[in-house]
Amino acid sequence: MDAPAPSGAPPQSDTSPQSDAPAQSDEAVAADAPQAVRGLFAALLEALRTRLDLAAVELELHLRGLLRLLVWGVGAVACAMLALGFGVMALIVAFWDTHRMVALLGGSVLFVALAALFGYLGARALRSQPELLEGSLEQLREDQRRVGGTP
């Protein structure tokens, strides 16, 4: 402990220049902490916004591709069915007097086979589509790997 100050002398302060430095650095750290948290939160929000923008663009592209596939598919199937319907009708008219049942059953079997073929091709086309939001999920995995989370 310090010796008592002589009478008439001003009392000495307990704070020396060495004790002021840590107190100031603690105060500076305490003052910078909310700034650091705000900066971290802002960076987190910006990263989230970027990922959501990427997901929205990816979803829009996926939906446009699906719509285009549906329009072209329906158009092609409708035209093919009309052409085949007229062709089968011509065969039925041609065989009306001799083999009308064979012509009718042949046309029916042809349409059933085509329906099965179109169903198979449609299912295969949908299976080959990339998974929805695949790019966004891959980017999130990459971000997680960068910050040292689960690889």
* DSSP string of 54-77, one letter each residue: HHHHHHHHHHHHHHHHHHHHHHHH
Q: For residue 97, what are the CA distances in angstroms to 48, 85, 94, 106?
A: 73, 20, 8, 16
**pTM, entire model:** 0.44
Range of the domain at 113: 29-146
Q: Give me the number of domains the chain comprises.
A: 1
CA–CA distance, 58 with 52 (Å, rounded to integer): 10
Residue 36: inside a domain, yes or no?
A: yes
Reported as type and span, the H/E element at residue 10 is none
Residue 107: inside a domain, yes or no?
A: yes
Residue 77: inside a domain, yes or no?
A: yes
List pLDDT tens digits, range 48-96. Answer: 888 888 888 888 888 888 888 888 888 888 888 888 888 888 888 888 8
Residue 41: inside a domain, yes or no?
A: yes
Residue 88: inside a domain, yes or no?
A: yes
Residue 131: inside a domain, yes or no?
A: yes
Q: Mean pLDDT check: name the lowest of 10-14, 56-60, 141-145, 147-151.
A: 10-14
Average of per-residue pLDDT across 42-46? 81
List pLDDT tens digits, range 118-137. Answer: 888 888 887 877 676 677 77
